[in-house]
């Protein structure tokens, strides 16, 4: 389909539509236009797209749980007993039991006093930051933080200071400059979502203590992946008790939807009273909570899933690197294949798609200008044969586009 053709200005459009069409045409001219792609199966190592079985290498379904029979069963049972929707905000219509159960299990999983479930990671970050920081406070965030953290900072009305990526020297300077603040809140991704590298949590904890600041860590890509039992990066570094607020999603390795903030009883109670994205939105659907609880059980019973995931990532990262692609060396399942130019990233994704491999081109504003990439993420369910197929497709496509020799 010719999308530019569709958006060519014509006089059947009213002024509003013409303005939108012009903005979209401008995006397309810069190779920044995005489209939805229809998928006709559950998420998994392979998905069905347009009647074709495609190798899926761009989901966050790290452990292959999104389509797992036990999650489906748990969701089905909760659906039978509790119905579909939660009815209203949990503060208004009551808190359905699967959510309370999940929260107890999450607190045990994170080794915290409490956990509070939100509708999504985006909502958890928005609500938590705006509850914890306001006028007179300073929020300090890594420049590559996830958009939901950035939006939370913007919405908080606190002063926002951005430090260079993983640069704790810079963070220290900014902390020194904000001594006048009522509260200083340090906010970071644990695993950076588009780069796969990890925050320097040990240094951040040290700075947090030195400057009497509060530390909030978004473990979205670390939960189910890193640390003992998949409890995340802070747990991996034995810093769980030093981090004041940990955010985790139920939507990535845990294969469901929703998210949580984990910390003290006081934190949970405060968020129940102050986090607007908790108060003014309907509770998470009970079937999703039940599925997430089941995912935590599988995580505990089948630790080999995490090993398979990390082995697969290492296997693919190593082979892509040897084939001549520019790969950042990380310890997580996120493998960024750096291409720089948006058109090249799109061309590479299209060439891979023709060869049966689904990887989306990641472009600005998701990543900084000039750093377009393919973000490749294997799951625990891919076999080495699958990954060899992926590799062949990469090598053929890379040669066709003269990206590798
Ligand atoms: C995906 C992601 C989120 C958002 O989580 P959802 O549950 O998908 O809304 C938040 N933070 C980070 C770092 C993420 O990668």
| pLDDT (0 to 100) of residue 226 | 98
* Distance from C-alpha of 54 to C-alpha of 39, rounded to nearest angstrom: 10
* Distance from C-alpha of 392 to C-alpha of 384, rounded to nearest angstrom: 12
Q: CA 403: distance to chain centroid?
A: 28
Over residues 380-385, the mean pLDDT reads 98
* Distance from C-alpha of 106 to C-alpha of 100, rounded to nearest angstrom: 10
Query: Considering only CA atoms, which residue is closest to atom 4 of ligand 1?
Result: 121
| pLDDT (0 to 100) of residue 376 | 98
Confidence of residue 8 (pLDDT cuts 50, 70, 90): low
Residues tagged active-site: 193, 221, 252
Q: Is the pLDDT of residue 10 over 80?
A: no
* Distance from C-alpha of 10 to C-alpha of 27, rounded to nearest angstrom: 18
Q: Record the tokens describing residue 271, joined without a space.
A: 């968020």
Provide CATH code, domain 31-60+303-400. Answer: 3.90.1150.10
Q: Record the tokens describing residue 8, joined without a space.
A: 């060519």
Pairing mode, if any, of strands 52-56 and 357-358? parallel
- pLDDT digits 0-9 by tens, 238-271: 999 999 999 999 999 999 999 999 999 999 999 9
Q: What separation in angstroms does the CA of 333 have from each of 80, 157, 378, 379, 392?
A: 36, 35, 7, 8, 19
| pLDDT (0 to 100) of residue 405 | 85
CB 106 within 8 A of CB 293: no
Q: Is the pLDDT of residue 233 over 90?
A: yes
Confidence of residue 1 (pLDDT cuts 50, 70, 90): very low
Domain ranges of the chain: 31-60+303-400, 69-301
- pLDDT digits 0-9 by tens, 292-324: 999 999 999 999 999 999 999 999 999 999 999
Instruction: Locate the ligand 1 atom nearest the alpha carbon of residue 257 and give its number.
Output: 7
Instruction: Locate the ligand 1 atom nearest the alpha carbon of residue 259 and give its number.
Output: 7
Give yes or no on whether 31-60+303-400 and 69-301 have one common fold: no
| 3-state class (DSSP) for residue 371 | coil
| pLDDT (0 to 100) of residue 275 | 98
Question: Rg of the chain's alpha carbons, rounded to an integer?
Answer: 22
189 C-beta closer than 6 A to ligand 1: yes
* Distance from C-alpha of 308 to C-alpha of 310, rounded to nearest angstrom: 6
Helix axis angle, 265-274 relative to 121-132, nearest 10°?
90
Distance 380 CA to ligand 1 centre (A): 20
Q: Give the single-character DSSP code of 377.
A: B
pTM beyond 0.85: the answer is yes
Residue given tokens 């963070």 in the structure block:
171
Distance 193 CA to ligand 1 centre (A): 8
* Distance from C-alpha of 110 to C-alpha of 204, rounded to nearest angstrom: 19
| pLDDT (0 to 100) of residue 2 | 43
Provide CATH code, domain 69-301. Answer: 3.40.640.10
Q: What is the residue-averaged pLDDT of the chain? A: 96
- Among the listed residues 326, 332, 280, 295, the one whose alpha carbon sits nearest the alpha carbon of residue 311: 332
- pLDDT digits 0-9 by tens, 329-369: 888 999 999 999 999 999 999 999 999 999 999 999 999 99
CB 33 within 8 A of CB 21: no
* Distance from C-alpha of 215 to C-alpha of 190, rounded to nearest angstrom: 11
375 C-beta closer than 6 A to ligand 1: no
| 3-state class (DSSP) for residue 139 | strand
Size of the chain, expressed as the number of residues it contains: 405
């Amino acid at each position: 389909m010719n999308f530019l053709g569709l958006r060519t200005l014509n006089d059947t459009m009213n002024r509003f539509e013409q303005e939108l069409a012009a903005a979209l045409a401008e995006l397309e001219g810069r190779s920044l236009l995005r489209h939805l792609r229809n998928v006709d199966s559950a998420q998994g190592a392979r998905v069905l797209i347009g009647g074709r079985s495609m190798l899926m290498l761009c989901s966050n379904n790290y452990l292959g749980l999104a389509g797992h029979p036990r999650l489906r069963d748990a969701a089905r049972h909760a659906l039978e007993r509790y119905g579909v929707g939660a009815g209203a905000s949990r503060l208004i219509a009551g808190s359905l039991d699967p959510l309370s159960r999940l929260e107890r299990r999450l607190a045990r999983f994170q080794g915290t006093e409490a956990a509070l479930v939100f509708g999504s990671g985006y909502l958890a970050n928005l609500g938590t930051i705006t509850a914890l920081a306001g006028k007179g406070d300073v929020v300090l965030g890594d420049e590559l933080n996830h958009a939901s953290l950035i939006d939370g900072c913007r919405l908080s009305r606190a002063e926002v200071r951005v430090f260079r990526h993983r640069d704790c020297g810079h963070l220290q300077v900014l902390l020194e400059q904000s001594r006048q603040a009522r509260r200083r809140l340090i906010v970071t991704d644990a695993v950076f979502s588009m780069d796969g590298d990890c925050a320097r949590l040990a240094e951040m904890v040290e700075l947090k203590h030195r400057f009497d600041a509060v530390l909030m860590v978004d473990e979205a890509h670390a939960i189910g992946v890193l640390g003992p039992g998949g409890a995340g990066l802070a747990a991996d570094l034995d810093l769980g008790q030093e981090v004041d607020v940990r955010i985790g999603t139920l939507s990535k390795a845990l294969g469901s939807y929703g998210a949580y903030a984990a910390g003290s009883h006081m934190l949970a109670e405060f968020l129940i009273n102050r986090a607007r994205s908790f108060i003014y939105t309907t509770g998470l659907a009970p079937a999703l909570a039940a599925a997430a609880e089941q995912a935590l059980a599988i995580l505990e019973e089948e630790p080999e899933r995490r090993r398979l995931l990390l082995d697969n990532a290492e296997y693919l990262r190593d082979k892509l690197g040897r084939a001549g692609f520019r790969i950042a060396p990380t310890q997580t399942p996120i493998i960024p294949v750096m291409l720089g130019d948006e058109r090249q990233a799109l061309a590479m994704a299209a060439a891979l798609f023709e060869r049966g491999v689904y990887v989306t081109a990641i472009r600005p504003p998701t990543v900084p200008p000039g750093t377009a990439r393919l973000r490749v993420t294997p799951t625990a369910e891919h076999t080495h044969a699958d990954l060899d197929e992926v590799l062949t497709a990469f090598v053929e496509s890379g040669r066709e586009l003269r990206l590798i020799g």
